[in-house]
Structure 1
């Protein structure tokens, strides 16, 4: 079998500047050089991978909490505070407003949406002993 590893995740957005600001100021991602140099695309670092946002027609895109980008942190409480300070509503895995939930394995997690309705999960998967 080939050695596959995560490279990037791409989403289409209505407004490139609004979405870029959200991913930097709210989520806390670092913007990196867009090697395509196309003005309607911006890139962000996610650990060893990347998030690419592409401005374009989003009218046919439907979102659901069951299809989401998952990020992990060692400071879930700090991330909750960060999102609360930006008035971002947190949800559980069913999309119901909730501060956070705990999975059966004890990992705390929550979900929230970006300006285009894409769902993002944040969890503390590596910080829980088991």
Structure 2
């Protein structure tokens, strides 16, 4: 990339949020708050139902599926680690896997080591979105 391409770009400042369309707000709240430990935060009074969750400086926005939203969930039938997903850093990916199993959360992939030495495991949220949980050990 040339220097002029950098100065002509919009220069993203930070990552703000992810929006997911879901079928069941309470099941999703249980996953994101009770399992992942995110904070349920106030949301503006939109004309459609949803929840917002805080994680560090970023948020997850959930929209309840309705006639003007997209379809809920991961529509990719290929549930593997090399398809659409997003990742959260956790203290211990192996422990996160064990907690997911004990809570009946669907597992996409058990813990494995990445080439950089981190450990990663993949789970599904209630709508089938693939979520990577990774840790440095």
- Match in the other structure for 2:22: 13
1:106–1:59 distance in 2 versus 1, CA, 3 Å = closer
1:103 positional shift? 1.1
Indicate the residue corresponding to 2:130 in structure 1: 119
Are the aligned partners of 2:94 and 2:121 in contact in 1 as well (CA < 8 Å)? Answer: no
The superposition leaves residues 7-32 of structure 1 with CA deviations (integer Å, 9 ceiling, x where unpaired) of 00000011212211221122221111
Structure 1 runs of 4+ aligned residues shifted over 4 Å read none
Count matched residues. Answer: 119
2:45 maps to: 37
Q: CA shift at 1:71, angstroms? A: 0.2
TM (normalized to structure 2)?
Answer: 0.75
Classify 1:83/1:62 alpha carbon distance in 2 versus 1 (closer, same or farther; 3 Å): same
CA displacement, residues 35-84 of structure 1 (integer Å, 9 cap, x when unaligned): x1236011001221000000014269613541112000122233223212
**Which runs of no fewer than 5 residues in structure 1 stay unpaired?**
93-98
- 1:60–1:24 CA distance, 2 compared to 1 (3 A): closer
Q: Could you say what secondary structure the match of 1:50 adopts?
A: strand
- Asked if the contact 1:13/1:56 (under 8 Å) is kept, the reply is yes
TM-score (norm 1): 0.79
